[in-house]
């Protein structure tokens, strides 16, 4: 799916490159900028820290006290081929409908104060013992934000800044901005200061979880 925060045509026009570079190169820069921004923007999402599958019922441990509910659609990624995909939640702990399926963690206590919750969904596959996910996977509910962000000026400007830097880093990797006093926060465009340049633009839309660490 083409990037929408900054489009290929917009980046070409800003850089003045017309058709000098292939669509694959320019679109990849746009998509990379959007993917990077999405790590900092706020969505209906939470980390998945572990998964298991028993008797065609999958269970995922969510690092959030109770973000999803029974009957809701959720998309898992980064959880392994068996678990990645979009599913309808059949049960949760803490309960969201007053009933629950048989959870495999009977000796563990999950409540809104524990910081974790469980979701279950149907999945036809071989049994899988509980496995911790490192790095964490991701569980995303209904995406009501991407289309909105694509029309939000601050997010679009941030995406353009990132896309320009990413494209230019392909051409000359060791170049970076220098302030009027000669200070260069990083010798590389892809350095630690990259996100710092656009934090002010996305501050009002930033996921609180991305502000830690």
DSSP characters over the chain:
---SSS-HHHHHHHHT-TTSS-HHHHHHHHHHHHHHHHTTB--SEEEEEEEEEETTEEEEEESSSS---TT-EEEEESS-TTT-EEEE--EEES-SSS-----S-TTS---TTTT-EEEEEE--S--EEEEEEEEEEEEE----SHHHHTT-HHHHHHHHHHHHHHHHHHH-SS-----TTS--S-SSTTSTHHHHTTHHHHGGGB-GGGG--
Q: What is the pLDDT along the chain (213 residues), one digit of tens a residue?
A: 899 999 999 999 999 999 999 999 999 999 999 999 999 999 989 999 999 999 999 999 999 887 898 999 999 999 999 999 999 999 988 766 555 555 555 445 555 556 888 999 999 999 999 999 999 999 999 888 999 999 999 999 999 999 999 998 887 755 555 555 655 555 566 777 788 889 999 999 998 877 664
pTM above 0.85, yes or no: no
């Amino acid at each position: 799916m083409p990037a929408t925060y900054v489009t290929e045509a917009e980046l070409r026009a800003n850089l003045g490159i017309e058709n000098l570079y292939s669509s694959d190169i320019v679109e990849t820069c746009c998509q990379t900028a959007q993917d990077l921004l999405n790590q900092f923007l706020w969505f209906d999402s939470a980390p998945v820290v572990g998964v298991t599958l028993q008797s065609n019922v999958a269970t995922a441990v969510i690092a959030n006290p109770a973000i999803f509910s029974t009957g809701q659609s959720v998309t898992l990624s980064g959880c392994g081929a068996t678990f990645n995909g979009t599913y309808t939640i059949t049960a949760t702990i803490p309960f969201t409908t007053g009933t629950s399926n048989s959870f495999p963690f009977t000796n563990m206590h999950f409540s809104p104060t524990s910081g974790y919750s469980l979701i279950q969904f149907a999945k036809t596959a071989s049994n899988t013992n509980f496995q911790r996910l490192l790095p964490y996977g991701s569980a995303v509910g209904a995406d009501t934000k991407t289309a909105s962000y694509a029309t939000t000026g601050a997010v679009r400007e941030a995406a353009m800044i990132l896309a320009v830097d990413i494209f230019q880093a392909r051409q000359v990797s060791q170049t970076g901005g220098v302030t009027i006093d000669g200070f260069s926060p990083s010798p590389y465009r892809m350095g630690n200061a990259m996100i710092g340049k656009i934090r002010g633009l996305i501050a009002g839309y930033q996921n609180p979880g991305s502000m830690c660490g």
